Structure formats: structure tokens, C-alpha cells
Homo-oligomer: A and B are copies of this chain.
Amino acid sequence: MDDFTFQCATKIIFGKGTENNVGEETKRFSNKILLHYGKESIKKSGLYDRITKSLKQVGISYVELSGVVPNPRLSLVKNGIELCKENKIDFILAVGGGSVIDSAKAIAVGVYHDGDVWDFFSKGIQPKKALPIGVVLTIPAAGSEASNASVITNEEIHRKSAFLSELVRPKFAILNPELTFTLPKFQTACGIADMMAHVFERYFTNSADVDLTDKLCEASLRSIIKNARIVIANQQNYDARANIMWASTLAHNGLLGTGRIEDWASHGIEHELSAFYDIAHGAGLAVIFPAWMNYVYKHDVKRFAQFAKEVWMINESDDEKAALAAIEHTRLFFKEIGLPTTLKELHINNEKFEQMAKRCEGRGSFVKLTKEDIIKIYEIALG
């Protein structure tokens, strides 16, 4: 087991109606906040009213910034930074999924940065200060509600990049599974692929003797798979929605990576797809991960055989056969829940493979990938 430092201080408030206490939770930090969200759908659903009512009840004033889109844009982040500065905002409440939360995190560090906020994403500069953030989660997927990461798309240069900082880990995250009842099937499935991918990125490691986190990863994946099937069949099953929602947070709060080196090649490879083609991140991952697995499994057939046995319950004594069966199970599972598993289904051809691969070469630690490796993975993914 490798040495590690782990701290996730985000307060999780989980359950029915928990969004009605958002005012009380926010009050501990601020009286004047930025209310950041995506589409107007939170108004139709009544969520907006419940949240603003709770804020008003405790005397919190808010400035609104809506319009966050999937693969959240740098331009909106910059608007948010100006808005916070102009209005002397000292807290951001993100209401939405990973895109809204990531956008809030970028605003949070941009407010205290003299230069271009993109510096954090492109130059590896570490922020020194950030506005505190709170979350009301509506999409279980990205795990941003308790993570230290933010991923933003610079739409002008087709770049999707991340930065990591403990400063942006949300102070609290309100998780009400009922808020996810109305998520369309496709978006639900994308979220499932995203959270599974977060476990995969940690599970496939060269770190030896990490039995506990291996087993916790396998347990999480089995629970996600089991409850995903329930949720796709019955979108209003509260308990299945709840298990999925809590799993999405645990998949990415750092716990499952303790004691092990993580990979993150597939996320890099997918980010290029999202950046150029603006596809749903989860759909891109459902295409890329089985292709990546096919390309790298020979690096550690035993690990893939363990994945077969412990996650997919494949009873096969030949490690290579077990590994290949597990990869096929993974692909078929994504297909089963309604996700694409080839680039062709996403109307993506080989035109930009070279350009995209060049931009993410060197990614990966389970297997460090060259440009040529990545092109081959894109080719496998083509279908």
C-alpha cells in the first residue's frame, strides 16, 4: 500500500426534503451569495422556489447566475467572477450537477486571482484562496459535490481541462434522491457511466497489496450496477436512486483512491472528445473505457481477472478469458442502460484522432500512453 493523505471535510446532508434546509446550512458561511445553476428546469420543478424560500427565511440575499451547460464554459465562469466582485459575494451555492459545481469552483478561485482564471487549468498554478461553496445536487454523476476537482471547457480553443485544490472542496452537499426522479433515462445512464469510470480510474493501478480499497471499489461497482438496473427500469425507485446518489459521491471523494496510484488516462482521452464534439461526458466514457480496457488489459491480466470475478461474478479459471469477458460485460452493461459504446454512434469519425491524441499523450499511470497508443484506443472505440 502506498502512503497517502486523505481528508474530505464536506458535510453530507442526505435524504428527503433536505434542500429545504439549505438556508440554515448556508447561513453559517454568508449572508450574500451567488446562486449558480443551469437551465430553467429548476424553476419548473419547484426546486428554485424551495431553495430561494429557504434562503429568504434566514435573511440571505442572492445574486443569480444561470446558464451553465454540460461541459461548462470558461466564458460563463468569467461572467461569474465579475458578478461576485461587483456584488461583494462571499459564498457560492451551486444547484445542479457536476457542470454547475465545477463552474462554481472555477468562479470561487477566479475571484481571488489577478490574472486569467484559465491559468489554474492550463498552467498548473495553485490557487491560494477561494470562496466557500455549497451544493444542492440534482445529478448523481461527477462526484464534484465532495471532490477537490473542477473541469472547465475553454470553448475558444476547444480545451477541456481540470485543476485540483483542497480549497474548492464544497463545505456542504445536500443530496435528496427525490430530486433525481425526473432525470431523463439517458442522463441517468450517463451519470452511472461517469461514477463507474471514477472507480475504474482508481481500481486499475500498479500499487500492490491494496486489498481494502480493492474490495471497497468492487463493492461500490457492484452496488452501482445492481441499482442502475433498478433505476433504469423504474426511475422513481427511491432506494435505488439513493444508493446510486451516495455511490456517486463516494466514487470521487478520494476514499477509493487511498493507498494507490490512480490512472486517469481514459478521462483525458474522453475530455478531448467532449472538447471537440461537445458530447455528454458519461456517454464518451462509456465508449472510451471498454476500448481502453481492451488496449491495456495485457499489462496486468490478473487485475482484470479479479475485476471479472469480483465485479461481474465471472467464474472462469483462465485469466485472459476472464479479463476479456469482464471487458465485454462492461461494454454490454453500458449498452443495456442505453449508452453508446462506439464513436460511430456519436457520429465521430477518425478525422481528429491525431490532433486529440497529441493533446493527451503521456496520460495514464496503470499504462502510460503515447500518442500512438491513444490513436489505437480511439480506433478500437470507433466500432
Of A1, A7, A255, most B-chain CB atoms within 10 Å: A1
Any B CB within 8 A of the CB of A165: no
What are 22 A-B interface contacts by the 8 Å CB criterion? A1-B246, A3-B15, A5-B14, A6-B12, A6-B14, A7-B9, A7-B10, A7-B12, A9-B9, A14-B259, A209-B240, A211-B223, A211-B227, A212-B220, A212-B227, A212-B247, A215-B219, A218-B219, A242-B259, A246-B258, A250-B255, A255-B255
A16 at the interface (CB under 8 A from B): yes
- Alpha-carbon gap, A43 to B5, bound state (A): 27
Q: Return A3 CB to nearest CB of chain B, in Å.
A: 3
Other 7 A-B pairs with CB < 8 A, given A1-B238, A3-B15, A215-B222 = A2-B15, A6-B11, A14-B258, A14-B259, A215-B220, A218-B219, A250-B255
Binding site for B on A (CB under 8 A): 1-16, 18, 177, 208-213, 215-216, 218-220, 222-223, 226-227, 238-240, 242-243, 246-247, 250, 255, 258-259
* Oligomer: number of copies: 2
What is the CA–CA distance of A240 and B212 in the complex, to the nearest angstrom?
A: 10
CA distance A14 to B1 in the complex (A): 10
Give the 7 A-B residue pairs with the shortest CB-CB distance, closest first: A3-B15, A209-B239, A9-B9, A215-B219, A219-B219, A7-B11, A1-B242
A18 and B2 CA atoms in complex are apart in Å by: 12
List, in ascending order, chain B residues with CB within 8 A of A210's CB.
Answer: 243
**For residue A223, which residues in chain B have a CB less than 8 angstroms away from its CB?**
211-212, 215
A233 to chain B, nearest CB (A): 15
Report how far A239 CA is from B210 CA in the complex, Å. Answer: 8
Within the complex, the shortest CB–CB distance from A140 to chain B, in Å, comes to 12
Provide the residues of chain B in CB contact with A211, threshold 8 Å: 223, 226-227, 239, 243
Closest B residue, CB atoms, query A213: B246
Whether A14 pairs with B9 at a CB distance below 8 angstroms is no
CA distance in complex: A223, B218 (Å): 12
| Structural contact, A4 and B15, CB atoms closer than 8 A | yes
State in angstroms the CA–CA spacing of A300 and B211 once bound together: 30
Give the interface centre of A218, A242, A250 by most chain B CB atoms within 10 Å. A242
Task: Contacts A216-B219, A223-B215 given; indicate if A239 touches B208 (C-beta within 8 A).
Answer: yes
Q: Which residue of B lies closest to A15 (CB)?
A: B3
Residues of chain B contacted by A209 (CB below 8 angstroms): 239-240, 242-243
Q: Which residues of B contact A259 (CB under 8 A)?
A: 14, 242, 246
A226 to B215: give the CA distance in the assembly, Å.
11
Chain B residues within 8 Å of A238, by CB: 1
